[in-house]
Structure 1
Amino acid sequence: MIKYRMIREGAAAAVAGLDFHEAMPASDGELALAHHPGYIARAAAGELSAAEQREIGFPWTPQMIERSRRSSGATIAACRAAFSEGVAVNLAGGTHHAYADRGAGFCVFNDSAIAARLMQAERRASRVAIVDLDVHQGNGTASILARDDSVFTLSLHGENNYPFEKERSDLDVALPDGVGDEAYLAALQDALATLQARFAPQLLIFLAGADPHEGDRLGKMKLSMQGLAARDQAVFSFARLHKIPVAVTMAGGYGRDIEQTVAVHIQTIRLASLHAAGWNNN
C-alpha cells in the first residue's frame, strides 16, 4: 500500500504543473452499474464471509471499503477529465479482478467497468475500450462485460500467470514467460490495430500495470524501463492518432524493489502529461 503514497509524492516532484484532485467515493448507484446490489450492500456493511475476504486478499475494514469506493471514483473522475484534457490519471485503480458478485486478487470493486458504463450513461461515449496491460488477465472485467458489445475488453497478459482460469475478453493476447520488449511491443501494436478495426472506441481506459517489468516479483515478463515507456507511448500515440481521450489507472506492480515499481508508474504519468500537452496544442 505504501507505493500509492510514493507515487503521489514522486509524481508531484517529477512532473511540473500536475493538477491533483481528491477522489470522491463512488455511490451505491454507480457501483451497481457493474456489481450486484447484494454484494455492494454486504461489502459496505462488513458482512463478507471469511472465504470472500480471503479471495480478496485482505480483511474487511471500513477504511478498505472507503478506499475501494474512492478508487472507483477516481477512475470516474479521470474519464470525465480526459474528455477535456485528452488524458487524466487515477493514481490507483485498475482493480480488474473484481467480479459482479465478489472481489478477488486485491480488488473489491471493478473501477474500469463502473466508469465505462457511467460514461455511457452520461452520454460522453457510446463505445469504450478497456486496454488492460497489467501482467494479469482482467478476468473480472471480462466477466462483467462479456455480453456488452458497447465495451471492448483487450488484455495482454502472461499466459501462465494469475488468474489460472481465464475469462474470455473481446481480445486476449496471452504471452509466454520471459517475453521481452520487442515481442511484447509487436503484440501490442497488432492488438491496437485490431481494436481500431473492430471497434473504433470513443474512450480508452488504460490499465498501465508496472508488473510486466523485469524486476517484478509476480510478473514473469522481462520488459525493461525503456520497453514499458514504449508500451505507454504506443497507447498514447494510438489515442492521439484516432483522437480518443484516455483515462489511465496504475493497476499492479510488485517489484522486488518498491522504488523501481514506483519509477515505472511515475514514468507512465510523465508520458501521460506529455500526451496531454500535445492534445491541448492540437
Structure 2
Amino acid sequence: MRVFYADQFVLPLPPGHRFPMEKYRLLRDRLAAEVPDIQLMRAEPATDGELALVHRPGYIQGISEGTVDPSIMREIGFPWSQAMADRARRSVGATIAACRAAFQDGIAANIAGGTHHAYAEKGGGFCVFNDAAVAIRLMQAEHGRHSRRPLKVAIVDLDVHQGNGTARIFRDDTSVFTLSLHGAKNFPFRKEPGDLDVDLPDGTGDEAYLHALEHALEELGQRFDPALVIYLAGADPHEGDRLGRLKLTWDGLEARDRRVFDWAWQRGLPLAFAMAGGYGHRIEDTVQVQVNTFAAAASYARRWHNRPR
C-alpha cells in the first residue's frame, strides 16, 4: 500500500499552540516500524494550476507569497510561513498521489490531509487548501480525457467536525456526494449542507455511532454510484480527544474504519484516505488511533492485491 507524506515541512508554531504538528512524524515513524506491506513515499507539491481547479487564484497567490489577508490567516489558525505554504501544497499533492495509486492498487493513503474546512476563496480551522476537493477535480479532469461520463466520487467524512468547505465547494455538483458524520454542537457552528449530514449528540459512543454509520453508508449506496471513494479517517471522535466531545473507543474506531473499507471493497471501489483531525489529550492516543487505521487498511490492501483480475 502506497502512503504519501510531507512531514518534513514543519510549521513554526508558537509555544502552547493547540495543533499537534508532531503527530505526523510520530505516525510515519510508527508505520515504518510496525505496519508491514506499506511503501512510504514523499509527496510532491500541488501546482498552481492544480490548486486553481478549486481555489481562487488570488487566494493561491496570497498563501504562496504571504500576502493573504490577516483575517483569513486568523481563521486558518496558523501564522504564515514559507514552510506552511509548502506543506499545504504537498498535503494536497499527497491526496492527489493517493487517488492515482488507489486506482491502480485499490487503496492508498495520505499521512496528513483531510483539510475539509477550506473553501474556494479562504481557509479555516487549520485547513489551508482543500486537498480532497482539488484531488477530485484533477481526477475528474484526467478521467475526462478518455470518457464522456463524469467521474463520480463519494467523500466519506468521519472527522468529528463537519466538512463545511467541502460541502460548499460541491453544493450543486451531482458528480460528487458528500457524506459527513459529525458532532452536532461542535465546530463549525454554522454548518454547510452536504448531500448527507448526520448530526451526533455529545457523548455518542460506539454502538450508536456504528449504527448511524451503517445507515448512512446504506443510504449513500442507494442514492449514488461512485467510481472513487475519498475517506477522511479523523481520530477526533476518540473518547480521549480534547476537541471531539464524542466517546468512541479504540475498538469502536477500528470497527468504523473496517466498515468503510469493507463497504468500498465489496463494491470494488478504489479508496484513498487521509488522516483529518486528531487532538488527543495525549498525542500518543491520536497516533495510536491512526496507526490502527493504517493497520486495517493494510489488510484490505493485501486483499486487493490478491483479488482476481
Normalising by structure 2, what TM-score? 0.90
Give me the whole-angstrom Cα distance separating, in 1, the residues matched to 2:256 and 2:233.
9
How far apart are residue 281 of structure 1 and its match?
1.0
Q: Do residues 202 (structure 1) and 222 (structure 2) align?
A: no
Please give the secondary structure, in 2, of the residue aligned with 1:263. Answer: helix
Sequence identity (%)? 60
**How is 1:120-269 mapped onto 2 (pairs within 5 angstroms)?**
120-123=140-143, 126-269=151-294
Q: Do residues 119 (structure 1) and 139 (structure 2) align?
A: yes
Please give the secondary structure, in 1, of the residue aligned with 2:286. Answer: helix
Please give the secondary structure, in 2, of the residue aligned with 1:24. Answer: coil
Please give the secondary structure, in 2, of the residue aligned with 1:169. Answer: coil
Which of 78, 96, 119 matches 2:98? 78
For residue 38 of structure 1, what is the amino acid of its counterpart? G
- Structure 1 partner of 2:82: 62
- Structure 1 partner of 2:10: none
Which stretch of the first structure deviates more once superposed, 44-53 or 177-186? 44-53
Give me the whole-angstrom Cα distance separating, in 2, the residues matched to 1:36 and 1:17.
39
For residue 268 of structure 1, what is the amino acid of its counterpart? T
RMSD after superposition: 0.9
- Structure 2 partner of 1:53: 73
Which of 93, 108, 114 matches 2:128? 108
How far apart are residue 155 of structure 1 and its match?
0.5
Deviations 1:76-114, CA, capped at 9 Å, x for gaps? 000000011111010000000001000100000000001
Give me the whole-angstrom Cα distance separating, in 2, the residues matched to 1:147 and 1:61.
34
Q: Does the 8 A contact of 2:231 with 2:274 survive in 1?
A: yes
- Structure 1 partner of 2:5: none
Could you tell me which runs of 5 or more consecutive residues in structure 2 were left unpaired when the two chains were aligned: 1-20, 145-149
For residue 168 of structure 2, what is the amino acid of its counterpart? S
Please give the secondary structure, in 2, of the residue aligned with 1:20. Answer: strand
Give me the whole-angstrom Cα distance separating, in 2, the residues matched to 1:52 and 1:84.
38
Normalising by structure 1, what TM-score? 0.99
Structure (1 or 2) with the greater helix fraction: 1
For residue 282 of structure 2, what is the amino acid of its counterpart? D
- Structure 1 partner of 2:37: 17
Deviations 1:235-265, CA, capped at 9 Å, x for gaps? 0110011000110100000000100100000
Which stretch of the first structure deviates more once superposed, 75-84 or 13-22? 13-22
For residue 152 of structure 2, what is the amino acid of its counterpart? R
Please give the secondary structure, in 2, of the residue aligned with 1:115. Answer: helix
Could you list the structure 1 runs, at least 4 aligned residues long, displaced by more than 2 angstroms after superposition.
none
Q: Do residues 30 (structure 1) and 50 (structure 2) align?
A: yes
